[in-house]
Amino acid sequence: MDNENNMSFIKRKPVFSKKIRESAKGQECQVRIPGVCNFDPSTTVLAHVGRGSGISQKCDDIHATYACSHCHDAIDGRTSLGDQRLIRLNAYEGMLRTQVILLEEGLIEVPSACK
């Protein structure tokens, strides 16, 4: 296999951002798992949604969502509350909503393709 087809196996350090992590403080939970979410912004943290390139490795901070403590526990599997497929779906939808917030706050930038 060439390197282009084998990109998922290349080990690299995940991209961490102190500003993105700190931006989660006081935010509304973007995951909102029915019957799980505590809707308490004082418990919100940046919860990683995807997996990194290695075993037990976290993904980049842009692959994360603002999550309350209960939703974070569900995402990380520390609780058996809820259907795992629904938890994953809510986590990824939360990641999309979080990325919009990060774009609006200027914490992530996408170079414009149209000038």
| Pick from 27, 99, 105: nearest CA to 67 | 27
- Amino acid at position 74, single letter: A
Residue 48 pairs with which residues in a beta bridge? Answer: 64
Sequential DSSP letters for 27-62: PPPS---TTT----GGG-EEEE-SB-SSTT-B--TT
Out of 48, 63, 70, 72, which one is annotated catalytic?
48
CA distances from residue 45 to 10, 41, 110, 112 in whole angstroms, order as listed: 28, 9, 24, 29
72 included as an active-site residue: no
Active site residues: 48
